[in-house]
Every structure is written in structure tokens, then in C-alpha cells.
Structure 1
């Protein structure tokens, strides 16, 4: 049940969060740490930055960690059952379309199936599951000046099929 005091506070004109706030990292419960590392480091190409009992921390570009993987409450466990709450997916933002194409090529080489591929107007995304059945979105954002707009100038997002063959051609450019 939502906290109605919070909802009323937002409606009463509470200030919005500062535009500089970012999501720093996500921590995933996994059943097998080595298996999770084989996917996130071995396939996607993250770097392991630190490990401690039952946990590993991985990043891109030398950051302390973008993703934490742990077995503290989940070693040998199974994914949550459908129809339960939890994390829908982790979205990993690539800085360019070419790097998203590289990620797709890595997934193909590792024979990891995709659940979907979408053009959202503001971004292009591919969807899959990690070895623990956590949802993963790999995407890149189009430049803001290319985001689609409605007639009144407001943002227009949509979901259309993404042409994966065209995305892979990015590697040839």
C-alpha cells in the first residue's frame, strides 16, 4: 500500500529532486557468483573491481562499482516467481550506438537469447535475462535534440521493433 502522506506531500508542491542526482549502482542477488561474473565480466565486458565473501563488485571505466553481485541471501537460490514484486530489470546505458552494437555482437557470440529489441524514439534497447533470470536492458540514448516530440512540444516516447541487422551495421561504420 502506498504511503499516502508522501503522495499528498508531492501533490502539495514539494520541490522535485535535484537534476544532478544519478543512480549510482545496482546490487543484484545471485545464486552463483562465478556464473554471474562469467556473464557480466566475461560476456558484457565489465571489470571486477573488488571481491569479498559472497560478493563481487564490477564497473566500467574504473568507477568503484556500477553493479554489485552477491549471494548473501541467495546462494543456490531460485529467481522470484512470476507475479511477485521485485526489480523488473537493470538498464545499462551505453554512450554510443556503436557500443550497443558491440554488446549485441557479444551476446550473439555467447549465444545468449534476447527477449526483445525496441526503438523507443529517445533510445534503442535490447532486452535479455542474466543467468539468475534478472531482467537486463542494454541501451543507448539518442541525442536530446533528436527525441521525438508531440505537436505541443512535449516528449513522445513509443515502442517499435528495433532492426538488429541495422544496429550491427554500426560496427562497420
Structure 2
């Protein structure tokens, strides 16, 4: 048996190929609210939350003017962006609503609540928040019981802070 990976290991960032860097920045910075950390002309940019060097890299190195892969091909299913609180997730939903960006799904998984959508290049995006571990659904033996139920978007929208407010 192979030794387990160190449990402190995390995914540090994702790097996405995009067709149009300005369009991608309009979505990730303009709609979702990430900060532009560095830009390399029209070829690449790095965005983050909270001043980290980058959470998402965007590049046109092999994709400028390209089209998304057709259904049935391999590639990225989605990138998941973890929000720290339900209010922060509600703020993300309010941003999407204000920009007219439709959801492709919204699920309550018991352990988390998730919004699903596509970015302008049809890369899948999941915006989610984890519930505290003591609220995770468990079976009688204590095993994790993830579920997929419809997320109550009306209740989530009601938790959004006033536009322009902080999301702590």
C-alpha cells in the first residue's frame, strides 16, 4: 500500500486556458471580485483573494481566440472556489445575479452548499461553502453521508449583505 499524502496538502491554484484575457478578467475580477495581482500583456494574468500571489492563473498561450472543447472530451470538469461563510456565498450569488450570469445548478450536499456555473470560456465553476464538520450528515456508524438536494436559493439570497458591504 502506498503511504498517504500529508493531510495538510492543499490545492494552491488553478491555471485556466482562456480565449480572451480581458473577458476572463471581467468575469473573475469584475463579477466574482478577485483582485488582479499581475498581468503579462494580453497573454496571462494572475488573480487572488486576500492578497495571495494567485489563486487563479488565466492564460491565452495556446488558446487565444479558441473555442471550448465540445461535450464528450476530457478536461477540467470545474474549479471549486471555497467561500468562508454562507454570507460570502450569498454575496457571490448576488454578484452573479447583478451580472445576469445564470447558474447551471445549485446543490445542498449536506457537507456543503454549492452554486454551479460556467465562466465565459465554458470552464465549469463551483462556488461553495463548507458547513462546520459537526453539522455534516453521518450514518449510524458515524460514516459521512454526502447527499445532493436542491439548494434553497431564496433563503441564500436573503443572507446576502447589502451590495458594497463586507462579507465577513
TM range (shorter): over 0.9
Instruction: Give me the whole-angstrom Cα distance separating, in 1, the residues matched to 2:159 and 2:26.
Output: 26
In 1, are the aligned partners of 2:87 and 2:161 still within 8 Å (CA)? Answer: no
Matches within 5 A, 1:20-59: 20-53=8-41, 54-59=43-48
2:128 maps to which residue? 139
TM-score (norm 2): 0.94
2:4 maps to which residue? 16
Name the structure where helix makes up a greater proportion of residues.
Answer: 1
TM superposition shift of 1:74: 0.1
Gaps of 5+ in 1: 1-12
Gaps of 5+ in 2: 163-168
1:82 maps to which residue? 71
Question: What is the Cα-based RMSD across aligned positions, in Å?
Answer: 1.1
Larger radius of gyration: 1
Instruction: Give me the whole-angstrom Cα distance separating, in 2, the residues matched to 1:150 and 1:137.
Output: 26
Instruction: Give me the whole-angstrom Cα distance separating, in 2, the residues matched to 1:171 and 1:68.
Output: 28
TM-score (norm 1): 0.91
